[in-house]
Structure 1
Amino acid sequence: MAFNIKNIGFSKGSFLRSFSVYAGNNILNAAIPFILLPILTSYLSEEEYGTLANVDVLLRITIPFILLGINAAINTAYFRLEKDKLPSFISSGFVVSFFGSIIMFFLFLIFRNQIKELTGVPMHWLLIVPLLCLMQTVNFVVLILYQSMKKPLSYGKFQVSLTLLNFALSLLLIIVFNLGWEGRQIGIFGSFFVFSIIGLFSLYRMGYLTTHISKKYINEILVFGLPLIPHTIAGPVIQMFDRLFIKNYVNLGATGIYTTAFQLASVITMIAVAFNQTWTPHLFEQLSAITEVKKKKLVKQSYIFILICLLLVLGLFIVTPLIFNLGFINHKFVEAQQYILPISLGAAFGGMYFMVANYIFYEKKTYILAWVTFANAALSICLNIYLVPKYGSMGAAYTFLITNFSIFVSVWILSNRVYPMPWFSFYKTR
């Protein structure tokens, strides 16, 4: 029997078109760090590059306290609320983010000396971090609305334009004006600022901003978002702590080689994120008027994606030696090949997580994700403490694999309790 995508419930044209736009957008965004890498390493000293990296760490740790999962809350509200109530929900979300940024600013101000000593980030950039996160929140809201509205082209135009401005400003300020690492950071700030203004104007034109702020929606957003903070912070812990262990127990060069393997495996993550951006509106739309037939189709679609993830791992494992042999990556990083299989499998399980976690988001039981990811972040730290001193960078790679597998299986089990699906009976006709 010939394979037909319609047999499993996808509208072939619209779904694949949306997926292609999201995938292309994610590939472009992920390509920018690769393109900038030789430029940054040529124009910046090791200390400057380290400072730039630490600013990024601060951003990733701070933004969960300001974003508070508002983008995910809006994604579910778009399909739950009447359209005339959505502007109040979105505007109430911005109020929450604004006060979150004020709180983080004062925390940074109070502990500025300790944070500066820990990260090496200058004081003025330290205090700008909350503002950067607030501007990024505006951009996230615009993008999630385009995603929910099934407007991948609008999504792509906004995100790609932001990325290109970021890239162009960074090149101009680093190369022409010789501003060093601050040139890169000013490029990020400038692009975020410009597009947060454009984003607010776009939301206003679409009728999604209002002065009617609802206490009910503020409470709903806080109930939804506060439990997500451990969940979203757990991500940087799982992604970054292994490199700190490698640096301390092996050496800095080993960290660079290990990171190269991570960059290669990010191809799987990019594809998974692009699929999820297309999948989530489709899933929520189906769940809003669910039937048993639709449930079985959703499960079939999920299993197909899981199979694709595993095939991507196999493909990357086969192609990686060719990438090095053709000189796309400098041969001094050739040791990265040995980490590809466990890291890419870990990335694949991270992609599979999307297929099961969205049911928990739909039911607004985000506290479940908070506990699971927080527990697995602790597991990641414990495994790194044990495995890295014993097995070096390979211990970190296996820690990443084990942790992501644990998250996927745990969330799958719990999501089925929150929203039962025929995961093991979808093939039955009755």
Structure 2
Amino acid sequence: MYILILEKWILFSLVPISIIKNILTVCIPLLPHSIGIFLLIGADRFILTKILGLSTISSYLVILQVSTVFIFIFDAINKGYYPWLFEKLNENNYSIKKKIIILTYFYFILLLCVSVFFFFYGSTLITLIAGENYIVNNNIVGFIFLGQIFGGMYLMVNNYLFYEKEMLLLSKITLSSGIIHLLLISVCSYYWEITGAAFSFCFSKCLQFLLTWFNAYKIADMPWSIQDG
């Protein structure tokens, strides 16, 4: 910081109140969004520990940790994608918008096809990575990885709500999905243990994706039906 200031690479000046208000208008509605994300990917382990015990959920936590590789991949893709998307949305060209939607749907299909692999070979993959102490059912691995894939699909449609500055709506979706996840995982893990927990995670991530897509469909001026025009 000293060097940056000394070389005058950053300059300090009074920020107009209007700019501060715009920043707060964007940031404050996203606070519930952050809470919702925590409910979706972090708070469930406290419930599972109480219901199943730490030793029982160790396999669930290992699978969840391995599956986070998808989070890094999807986040990297989205960081490169959304500036380009916003630029194209500003151009308001119908043919470009249609190509974006077609590519988005192709991306969805590709990810869903990838998810099938984990329902057949997920257990082998986890054993290969984490060792023979973590031999689990393929369905458990499949549901958790499918949930992460729904998270990647969600990133493709939540950008439209960011573009339209619908931060409060996005927060409502994420927070409600997180609350439903906690309620669902409490019931499902009690009856079906780790399989129920994995299903709850997958269902909640799917719900978050579908609700976001539905609202993007209503708000964003995009040719969602590729047969249009």
TM-score greater than 0.5 by the shorter chain = yes
Amino acid at match of 1:262: L
Q: Given that residues 356 and 412 in structure 1 are in contact (C-alpha distance below 8 angstroms), is that contact kept between their aligned partners in structure 2?
A: yes
Aligned to 2:140: 339
Amino acid at match of 2:98: K
Q: Is the 8 A contact 1:245 1:388 kept in 2?
A: no
1:308-327 to 2 correspondences below 5 Å:
308-324=110-126, 327=128
Match of 1:282 among 84, 87, 107: 84
Whole-angstrom CA distance in 2 between matches of 1:267 and 1:427: 35
Q: Which ranges in structure 2 are unaligned for 5 or more consecutive residues?
A: none
Q: TM-score, normalised by structure 2?
A: 0.90
3-state secondary structure, aligned to 2:116 = helix
SS of the residue corresponding to residue 422 of structure 1 reads coil
Q: Report what 1:243 is aligned to.
A: 45
Q: Determine which structure has greater relative contact order: mean sequence separation of CA pairs < 8 Å that are 6+ residues apart, divided by chain length.
A: 2
For this pair of structures, how many residues does the alignment match? 227
Could you list the runs of 4 or more consecutive aligned residues of structure 1 that deviate by over 6 angstroms after TM superposition? none
Alignment of 1:295-374 (within 5 A): 295-324=97-126, 327-335=128-136, 337-374=138-175
Question: Which one has the largest radius of gyration?
Answer: 1
Q: What percentage of aligned pairs have identical amino acids?
A: 26
Aligned-residue offset at 1:378? 1.4
Name the SS for the 1:332 alignment partner: coil
Q: Deviations over 1:181-212 (max 9, x none)?
A: xxxxxxxxxxxxxxxx59x77xx63x5x5313
Which residue number in structure 2 is paired with residue 92 of structure 1? none
Q: 1:258 aligns with which of 60, 74, 95?
A: 60
Any idea what SS the aligned residue of 2:134 has?
Answer: helix
After TM superposition, the structure 1 = structure 2 runs for residues 215-226 of structure 1, keeping only pairs within 5 Å, are 215-226=17-28
Over 3 Å counting, the alpha-carbon distance change for 1:245 and 1:230 in structure 2 is same
Displacement of 1:375: 1.2
1:52-105 CA-to-partner distances (Å, cap 9, x unmatched) read xxxxxxxxxxxxxxxxxxxxxxxxxxxxxxxxxxxxxxxxxxxxxxxxxxxxxx
**1:421 aligned to 214, 222, 229, which one?**
222
Shift of 1:273: 1.3
List aligned pairs for 1:360-399, cutoff 5 A.
Answer: 360-399=161-200
SS in 2 for 1:401: helix
* CA–CA distance in structure 2, aligned partners of residues 229 and 336 of structure 1: 37
Q: What does 1:120-159 align with in structure 2 at a 5 Å threshold?
A: none
Structure 1: where are the runs of 5+ without partners?
A: 1-196
Shift of residue 262, structure 1, vs aligned partner: 0.9
Q: CA contact under 8 A between 1:268 and 1:312: conserved in structure 2?
A: no
The amino acid of 2:27's aligned partner reads G
CA distance in 2, matches of 1:268, 1:317: 16
Alignment partner, residue 23 of structure 1: none
Q: 1:398 to 1:380 in 2, by over 3 A?
A: same
Query: Normalising by the residue count of structure 1, what TM-score does the alignment of the two structures yield?
Result: 0.49
Verify the 8 A CA contact 2:120 2:138 in the aligned structure 1.
Answer: no
> In 1, are the aligned partners of 2:158 and 2:216 still within 8 Å (CA)?
yes
Counterparts of 1:322 and 1:247, CA distance in 2: 25
2 CA distance for matches of 1:284 and 1:300?
17
Deviation of 1:324 after TM superposition, in Å, equals 4.8
Aligned partner of residue 254 in structure 1, secondary structure:
coil
Report the AA paired with residue 91 of structure 2: A
Alpha carbons of 1:262 and 1:324: their partners in 2 closer, same or farther (altered >3 Å)?
closer
Distance 1:386 1:408 in 2: 22
